[in-house]
Every structure is written in C-alpha cells, then in structure tokens.
Structure 1
C-alpha cells in the first residue's frame, strides 16, 4: 500500500514538473517574440484555471504579450479560451429577438450605457448588458446605477432572464462564472503594469461580451486626456483589433472613436450623472454638451440596429431612435428596468451642495485637464483607488464650459459638489483644470 502511494506521488510530482517545464518553454517562446500555437495558448489558460500554471507564470505571460504583442490569430484564440473558461448567458429568453450590446473604454462623464440600454429595448431588441465598476479615474456604470436606492446589479441568472423578458434590457455585474480566466488574469495585469496591451484588452473585453450570446456589438473607443488610449494611433489600433477579433470569433463588431479630451456631457460623478442621463431620456431642453451625449448614444445604437437588420440603414435607425427618445418610450423602458432591478426613483437623486468656480479672466477655454478633474472626484470619494473602496454617490462636478467657449471674468466654469470642509482647497486645485487663453480656440469635434 505504501509503495503504491509512493508511486502515485512520484507520478504526480513528475507530471507537475513536466507542466512547469512546458510552461517555462512557452513563456520563453513568447518572450522571444514568437507566435504561440492555438493549443499552446489553450494549455496556458486551462492550466491557469486548474492551478497547474501559477500566477507568477501568467504574470510573465502577460508581460511578454505586453512587450511583444500577439497576432490576430493568437488574440482570437486567447479570447475564445478565456470565454470557454466559464459559462454563457442563456439565449432562450430572446428567441428570435436580436441581442445587442455596446462597450466603452471609459472616460469622464460617460453615462451613455444608462441611456443606450433602454433606448435600444424601446426599439425592439434585447440588451443583456454586463457592465463594470469604476477604478481609477473612470467611472463605472454599476456605481452610477447603485446611486439609485435599492437598485440591484448582482442578479441571479433566473432573475436577469426575467428582467430581460419583461423589459428587454438589464444592466448587471458579471458573475464569477463569466470568463473567470479573464477575471483572474486582469487582477494580475492590474498589479504588474501590463494593463496597456491591445491584445490583452481585446481578449478581456470580447471574452465577456461573447459570453452574453450577442448578435452584434458596438465599441466606443475613447481617445484623449481622460481616455485609456491617449493617441489616435493607439485608439485606431484598439478599434481595429476589437473589430477583427470580434468578427473572427463569430460576433459582428463595429467600433467608433470618440473624443475624450474633455468630459462627456456636463455631469461627472455618480448620482449627478444618473440625473443627467434621466434628463436626456426625458427629452429635457439641452445645451450642446448634453446634445453631444444624445448624439453619441444615437449613433452607437444606429450601428447596432442596422447590423441586426432592425433598421434599413443608419438614417432609418436614427429616425426610430430619436422618436423613441422624444415620445417617452425610452424613458418608460428605463423606469421599468430600474423597477425590475429593485430601484426606486422619485425625481432627481440627491447630490451634495455645490459651489461654483468662477473665471478670473476674459478669454476662451483652451484646455480642460481631465486627469485633475477625475483625481478630484476620486479624492472626494466618488471613485476608487483600489477595488473595494466605498463610493459616495452624492459628490461630483458639473461643467459649465467646453473647449472653445468664450468666457467672461466672474462666469462660472464648473460647480464642485461635496461635503468636505476642504472645499476651498479643492476649488483652488480645480482652477488649474480649466485653462483660459486670450486667443480663440476651435471647438473639439466629438466624433473622430
């Protein structure tokens, strides 16, 4: 008996040693800039999930990919392997109804998802949106929705299916069974300086979207000071990667590039952004900043409706979408979704008291420092420095100007909404976030 146990132990040890040696060889192969075969990529992901490939080895893999990149084939295989590490959302409830979704690389004031999901549902498609929380300067859709009293983002599969059946849209957090390989790999990337890799970003986004059993996906790639992609070349590379890999994995995917050198809309925060999104859904009179949010939302939705054949072309889709916003049907879907997910809304959500920052000069808005604005929101508790940090949904900033605007001395540039006794200190810091120039400056287009 003892001899048999020893033999089994020896076999296990040899098996583990072989796996470690093979893993090391694959890491060296990628480190040297060579492409991995499909079965080699699946070996790494499967081993990562079952524990035979250690965290430190996957960290080395991520660094090798970050430095040397991946081919489109490699990225597609990595995406599929991470998808297959978990479950997919059930398709049966949708039947023949098209299922669509959008993803954004994020930025300041990006509340598009709150408008887009009910708007698309009002136009006859299903939107099973699996979204995320904010980390760093980027606000999370789930954090915004959780500013609504009672709103539940962690729904069971049965509950989410029922919401989709009743409303046509839900916005929920990803369960631990959706692309668990990506969940674990992202946690390693976040602490090893390997987030900024287009193949890894592509696989991370698409593995979760493919799990939703979609018929079409649209991607909003932000570029600029408040975006993950700082340059147009990087934004184009990411957009192209997501389009090509999405299609190769069987998901028709289109990408749009939009400007993020200034906040989207006027509101930045959680409750304050929900209020702005509801105002747009309700068709309240808007200024150019809010019209930009509506225009971006409609354009993304139009791409999806034409992709799945619900609309003849973009013009037809745009007319339908604008009608759903103007006649209140999109707002009705939003209210239904909030109620179905346990939320309670009676008028605007509470926001902390605001205090204006006024211009000290006549001139033109030449630049908006989005990093300083985002950092202020995080410092006030409206964002997270690390996962698990609590969120104060009432804090925020409301912008009154955009790049290119003419301003006069004493004119409000922004309002700071917070509870802290250090409000004056934050206002002094924010004064450097809006640069006023003597020379006129051209307004920035939203669509790149």
Structure 2
C-alpha cells in the first residue's frame, strides 16, 4: 500500500490546491450572509432559503462520489474545469432566480455539484497520490487551512459587496471570480501514467465492497455526518440568530471571518498532529470540544465579545476534522481510490449538512427559535466523540491479490 512516485512538485500541488480550495470554500462559507437580503426582497420564508442550501449540501455529497470516481480515473484536472463552470453558472442563476424552485435548482443542485468538483475530495486525491505518506496528513492540513483562510478572506468581501452593490450584483461578481479555478487547475494536471498505475490493485467495486465491509469506514462516515450538521447549521443560521438577538450584521460578518481565521490554525494543527498522534483520538477531541463550546456559548450572556470568543474557539475546531479524516482513509485503504472513498465519507457529512441547515429553518419557522437545533448539535457532538474512538487505524492487509 505504498504511494506512487510523485510526478508533480509538492510546492505546485499545495499552492494550486490551496488556492482552488480558498476560492471554492471561501465563497461557499459566506452564503449565510444572503439569507435575510434574499428572503426579505423576494418575500420568501427562511425555510425556503434553508431548503435550497440544504439541497446544495446534499447535491455536493451525492455528486462528490461521482466526482471522486472521475478524478481517480481521469485525473483531477478535467473535474476541476467542469466544477468551475458549474459554480459560475450556479452563482449567476442564484442571482437571477425568480422562484423558489429555480433558486433551489441553481443555489442548490448546480452549486452543490460544482463544490463536489472543486473542493477537498478532488484536491486530496492529488495530494494523496503526489505527496509521500510521511507528509500526507500535514499536506492535507495545509490545503484545509487554505480553505479556512478563504473564509476569513472572502466572507468580509462578500459582506461588502452586498452592502455596496446589492445581493444580485454581488453574486454575479462572485460568478466571475470563481472562474479563476480554471487556470489553477492546470497546476494539478497529473500525467496519465502516474495516476493510472495506482489503480491496478482493485476495481471500483472491489474498493467499495472492501470499505463498506470495514466497520471503521462506517464510523468515520457517521462522525462526518455530525461535522456537517454542526458547521453548516452554524455557518448559515448564526448570522440570522445574532440579528434576531439584536446584534448588528457586522458582528455576524466578523464572526464568520474569525471562524475562518482560527480554522487556518486549527486545520493546520490537526494535520500536523495527525502525523504523530492517533487520529481517532484527535477526531474525538474535536467533536467533544465543539459540544463544550456550543454549550458555553448558549450559557453565557450574549454580546459581541462572547460571539467573537465563540467564533474563535469553534473556528479552531471547524474543519480540523477534514485533514485527519481524509488522511485516515488514505492510511487504511491506500490512495488508489482515495477521491472516491473520500467522496463517500463526505456524503455522510453532507447528509448531516442537509439536516442541519434545513432543520434550522424549519424549526425556526415553526417555533420562532433556534434553541432546539443548538441542543441537537451539542448531543451529536458528544455522540461523534464516542463513535470515533473505536476506529482502527492500521492499514488493511490484502491477503488475496485482486485483479483490476
């Protein structure tokens, strides 16, 4: 289960991969800023907006499986080109949608499919194949940290675009900006012979059968479900939660930016620690830390200071699960089908995201409060900490050769 010899430089892979994730994740993290402007102007409920973003996360998860398969078979380059085009079309369509159905199709289905082809599963497949195992967890931490820096960088920019030009024009500007992924994709173009050699050990069906029979794969998927529920609920609904409590929109923008800033340090730290410590224990600590942070946030009096402290703490834990989980998948199953297997793990994340964002809107419209969803997020965090502890980290030993 050794890695193929690298054919791209580490600097090139990390630089281009990090910039792609910065753009894709940075734009995506700011969608919560559009909730109130869009719903107020269009006369829609929060559930309508939440449902579209929920569809986006579900589409991302489902399409991520197929994007991973294509990236493993054809290379990340082509998948990234398709993803960038879909992203631009989805953002433009989001700005021009006159009905909730069209909004769900563009902001939901199109952008979700675009994110599947421009974020972690595809980029991590290249990292897994091109970077030696002894540096893989660290490299994935660097890429995840870049996505977090994108949030820190892009969320205030998106807030300013909305304030200065209105939400329609802001979305069209982002549609043009996301096309920068196209030239960056050339930096992740792998020689066909380099990526083809990694696939001779197993077919796709054999790799899937092996993974789903291995209990630790299901445990990682279940933990990732909780990750998605928590971060997407907070990312989309926290701005409205804070405004409902009488805080200014700037507090929400700064809070989301702080989440991105501190997640730069959190994801890098988690990736670096994953080279030295048991990854299952790192994941358990992250999920338990989130549960504690949310509990304290709800207990202390709400103020801009308490919001910023919470944003910093939850930001440190925000996407720190990503490099550790993906490095663990590579460590157990190898890198030949890493993008596809990461896509399946991420499907669990996105099912959680769907429920977190939709349930937030549904229960708010029903009860006028987000309290129940906050409590669910706390309970799920404790459960995810316990679920990750039994994960077996050793590589699978394949005793019988499996022809391609």
Is the strand fraction higher in 1 or 2? Answer: 1
Normalised-by-shorter TM-score class: under 0.3
Is the helix fraction higher in 1 or 2? Answer: 2
| Higher Rg | 1
